[in-house]
Structure 1
Amino acid sequence: MNIGLFDDSGWQRLLPLTWLRSACELRCGCDRLVDKVRTHVGRNLAALWTRPELAHLAAARIGLESPDPVADWCAVNARVLVTADVRPPPPGVAWRTPEALLAVGVRAADRERLDAALFLDDARLEDWLRGYRTELPPRGVHLINHPWDLIHANAHELARQCREGGVRDGRIFTGAHLLHPGEIHVATGAVVKPGAVLDAELGPIHVAEDAVIQPNAVLEGPCYVGPRSLVRPGAVLRAGTSLGPVCRVGGEVAATIFQGYANKQHEGYLGHSYIAEWVNLGAATVTSDLKNTYGTIRVYVNGVGVESGRHFIGAIIGDHSKTGIGTLLPTGAVIGVASNVFTRGAVPKFVPSFAWLTDDGLTAYRVDKALDIARTVMARREQELSEPLARLLEHVAQAARTIESAGWL
């Protein structure tokens, strides 16, 4: 069976994380949602239906196979977190919840009816699904509605995925301390230096290829350190933390997901947060992830308050954003794409994309300047700001002024 992934209208509830990527590229546990679909639903991923400005970039990043022209199709929602092997729905069957379509089986002859516009249009999709039998999704298929769903699923997903403990192909220096070594995986090329403590008593730890754990760092499982990432001396990574590739992390981090290519090199607490790519958190940037009242947290999605029902949410920060030294982020803070927060005062709960926040207030950030800095930052990690990605950022700068308009009021 051919597998296709689709972004539906729910992508906007995952902003700012989905401005530059499909929902299926978001991380949870050791990998991305798309990787879990390949592992548990089917490996012949042959289509991605998403917004036109994103389609070619996202398809290139996830990689697509050639479709089998005579095989049936299963279209899977890009927001689905799959945690167990499942048989795709057969043609004519749709897995649905009251919130959304999770997957649908489609006959090969009807493939041409599938397109991005269908899945992004709620009314059109509802009309099309009238011809399909509805079933509830099986166990192991979960819908991600907001970024904090990924944050709170991360520890459990790490415990489920990190099953390669006891394999230590990397270099572990004398003086490093491994507690419950049977639950610790140190991959080829990875380095664990003297004084580092890897404590897997409460969950597994996976240190991926060419990652470096520097002296006196402490990792508490479940925890994942991605390829070529660097954990600074004295850092503390608490349970439920995932670092994507090529991150540099210091200070104290708890129950947080780094998408990849992000920096938090200095002291400061970061908890129950999701950090997108190319983010830089200045020294002593601190998040609050628990209200003084111990109540549930209201998060401003696109500038509009949403009751999360959660007691622990830190910050959700979009790609290419930065904070200055000593920035204090409130509980449930959201910072958009390519924004800069350099204020000694109170940071609002929502900072829109392409914004410049200083002690003088909030102003729009010049797009050309943002692109210049993005090129410089990416080159430092041997990456290039391609022309398609630059055009996507320009598109986001315009689209965000509408979708995030409440954040500018």
Structure 2
Amino acid sequence: MNVVFIEPYRDQLLSLSYTKPISELRCGILKMGQKWKIHCPNFQFSNLTEDYLSKVWPPHIEDDNLFVNASVFPNQTLVESLMDLKPSQALRYNDVLIAYRSAKKDKYSEVKVYHKEISILKNTWDIFKLNHFAIEADFNLLTKDKKSEPIPEHVLAINPDQIFIEKGAKLISGTLNATDGPIYIGKDTEVMESVSVRGPFALCDHAVLKMGAKIYTGTTVGPYSKVGGEVSNSVIQGFSNKGHDGFLGNSVIGEWCNLGADTNISNLKNNYAAVKLWNYSKQGFTDTGLQFCGLIMGDHSKCGINTMFNTGTVVGVSANIYGEGFPRNFIPSFSWGGKTGFITYKFEKAIEVADIVMKRRDKKIKAQEVKILEHVFEISKAYRRR
């Protein structure tokens, strides 16, 4: 079967979706698209996304396609229901379009209802809100019928049956507590001395937990990332650093980001009220209904040492934040500054920095990636004028 991912919640997942399709967002251990590929190993997948992203992620459409909502988490029962769809039939859950089978986009005539509960990424904050569940589901997918590497004797392991260590991982010392959920330690990772981890937790391939790190439940450290300090219920997508002390809670950090030493994120308002967050689709702040909500940061953004972020802050792509005090809680893409104000981050300088940062991970920024960032630079101009 030919599967094409569609994106009905793309605007609600900005700024994280500015630079990639929804299928490329990570929640749990795996990206959304990777989950579907494991559940449906014999299918081929592509993305029907924004035109400016399609050069990197082109759609592949045949005479018979299954158009699948990329925000929906797959499970075996759901996959079986999708396989029962006939041409021109769609499957819905409440008000959510899960999928439809058709030769063309948005072409179906009959709607079937899926009655079992599913999980969906409708908003950016759902990524950390659902991360506890997503780690557990991915853990079961990735470790089924596999044997973990042995847990080193000098590591205190609590509930070791729920701890899985891939080949090449180095664990020096510390505590892995899987009482409340599984702990996944990916390939060629490093857990340095005196680290404390409470599951569910995922350390993806080639990532590092630095000395004395304190990691609480529902946290994912994406591949090639380095993390220290205190982290709770947060998702670091990959290739990003929070290398030093400071608190990160109920947050999502994109790729190629860096949080300077002693950066702290507030995830709770002083009056304990529900947090409002900038919503691109509504062009204003929206009530998340959450009491705990920290920072949403798009790809390639960075902040200096001792930066403070207020509860419910949204940062766009390739922003550079520094200085004392709290900056405003919506910082547009390609902004440069802090509490005293922002100017536009010169595009050429931003690309120069991105290239330097990527080379530190033995990668080079590609021409197509530059074009994507250039498009984001242009469409975000209106926000920088505010």
TM (normalized to structure 2)? 0.92
Q: Is the 8 A contact 1:84 1:140 kept in 2?
A: no
- 1:124-144 Cα offsets, whole Å, 9 max, x none, are x4xx45xx1122335354332
Match runs of 1:131-150 below 5 Å: 132-139=109-116, 141-150=118-127
Count the aligned residue pairs: 377
Which residue of the partner structure matches residue 87 of structure 2? 91
Indicate yes or no: 2:255 matched with 1:277: yes
Task: Report deviation, 1:317.
Answer: 0.3
Greater displacement, 296-305 / 216-225: 296-305
User: Cα deviation per residue 1:144-178 (whole Å; 9 max; x = unaligned)?
Assistant: 211111211110121233233994326x5442211
Deviations 1:258-316 (A, max 9, x none): 11000000000100100000000001111111122222110012361011111111100
Q: Which residue of 2 aligns with 1:178?
A: 157
1:37 corresponding residue in structure 2: 36
Measured in 1, the distance between the counterparts of 2:135 and 2:248 equals: 19
Find the aligned partners of 1:318 and 1:310 in 2 and give their Cα distance.
21
How far apart are the structure 1 equivalents of 2:42 and 2:29? 18
Q: Given residue 162 of structure 2, which amino acid in structure 1 is its aligned partner?
A: E
1:190 alignment partner, one of 140, 163, 169: 169
Which residue matches 2:328?
348
Instruction: Report the CA distance shift for 1:96/1:42 in structure 2 as closer, same or farther (over 3 A).
Output: farther
Provide the C-alpha distance between the structure 2 equivalents of 1:380 and 1:278, rounded to a whole number of angstroms: 11
Structure 1 portions without partners, runs of 5+ = 115-124
Does residue 28 of structure 1 match 2:20? Answer: no
Describe the shift of the 1:142–1:168 C-alpha distance in structure 2 as closer, same or farther (beyond 3 A). Answer: closer
**Residue correspondence of structure 1 range 94-109 to structure 2 within 5 A:** 94-96=90-92, 99-106=95-102
Cα RMSD after superposing both structures: 2.1
Hey, what's the Cα distance between the residues in 2 that align with 1:392 and 1:30?
Answer: 26
Secondary structure of 1:151's aligned partner:
helix
Give 1:226's aligned amino acid: C
Counterpart amino acid of residue 213 in structure 1: V
Secondary structure of the equivalent of 2:353?
helix
Identify the residue that residue 223 of structure 1 maps to in structure 2.
201
Per the alignment, residue 153 of structure 1 pairs with: 130
* Residue of structure 1 equivalent to 2:350: 370
The DSSP-based 3-state class of the residue aligned with 1:75 is strand
Distance 1:229 1:222, change over 3 A: same
> Whole-Å Cα distance in 2 between the matches of residues 197 and 83 of structure 1?
32
Paired AA for residue 290 in structure 1: L
Moved more, 35-44 or 231-240: 35-44
1:213 — aligned with what?
A: 191
CA distance in 1, matches of 2:323, 2:385: 17
Q: Report the Cα distance in structure 1 between the residues aligned to 2:73 and 2:319, rounded to whole angstroms.
A: 29
Specify the SS of the correspondent of 2:101. strand
1:333 — aligned with what? 313
1:292 matches 2:288? no
The Cα shift of 1:83 comes to 3.7
User: Are residues 84 and 408 of structure 1, via their aligned partners in 2, closer, same or farther at CA, if it must alter by over 3 Å?
Assistant: farther
Q: CA contact under 8 A between 1:77 and 1:103: conserved in structure 2?
A: yes
> Which structure has more helix as a fraction of its residues?
1
Runs of 4+ in 1 over 4 A off after TM superposition: 97-100
Instruction: Give the 3-state SS of the residue equivalent to 1:142 in structure 2.
Output: coil
Q: TM-score when scaled to structure 1?
A: 0.87
Aligned to 1:122: none
Q: Tell me, in whole angstroms, the C-alpha distance in 1 between the residues paired with 2:206 and 2:170.
A: 10
1:53 aligned to 2:31?
no
Q: 1:83 to 1:308 in 2, by over 3 A?
A: farther
Question: How many angstroms apart in 1 are the aligned matches of 2:361 and 2:171?
Answer: 22
Whole-angstrom CA distance in 1 between matches of 2:134 and 2:299: 24
> Matches of 1:96 and 1:307 in 2, distance apart?
26
2:219–2:232 Cα contact (<8 Å) kept: yes
Query: Are the aligned partners of 1:167 and 1:184 in contact in 2 as well (CA < 8 Å)?
Result: no
Give the stretch that moved more between structures: 353-362 or 183-192.
353-362
1:360 Cα deviation after fit: 3.8
Give secondary structure in 1 for the equivalent of 2:5.
strand
Correspondence for 2:211? 233
